Every structure is written in C-alpha cells, then in structure tokens.
Amino acid sequence: MGIFLSSTSPSTEHRDDKLTEEQRQMYAVEKLDNFRWISKIIATYSPYTLTTADRAPVSLYQTLADLGEQTPDS
C-alpha cells in the first residue's frame, strides 16, 4: 500500500504549453518519487543553532566578491 500522486492535474495541465521541449522531455522520463515532496514529509530541523563562530572568514567573503566582479574576459 502506498501513496500515488499523479504527475498531471487540472492545475498543471494548462502550463504544459509553456514548457520548453527540453523540460517536457525531462518530466516525461522522471520515474522516481518526488524527492522535494518526500523531504517535506521526513525532514527535521537541526538542534544546532548557528552562531557568529560558524561564519566564514572575512577573506573568503572578499575572494567571493572579487570572483563575482570578474568579467568573462578577465
């Protein structure tokens, strides 16, 4: 006995015409359970609360900021 969720419903069928051919193919071959739905059902919150000690070093922030400012020609 299991739960079956239809991949097509009246609320999603009308959106099919807005999908690209690549997206249609991806959804057509999808045969596994929807892991996002499963994660909502079984996921738990961590008992650990992040603190300032968990922050990345300032040098990492600067490195990432510099990478984000680079152009493809750089």
At 65 the pLDDT is: 92
Rounded to two decimals, what is the model's pTM? 0.32
Instruction: Give the model's pLDDT for residue 15.
Output: 56
Residue 32 pLDDT: 64
Residue 59 placed within a domain: no
Say how many domains are in the chain. 1
What pLDDT score was predicted for residue 68? 85
CA torsion, ordered 4, 40, 27, 3, to nearest 10 deg: 0
CA separation for the pair 53, 28 (Å, rounded): 46
Which pLDDT tens digits describe the chain residue by residue (74 residues)?
445 454 454 445 555 578 899 888 887 776 666 777 787 888 888 999 999 999 999 999 999 999 988 777 65
Domain that holds residue 30: 18-44
Chain position carrying tokens 């999603």: 12
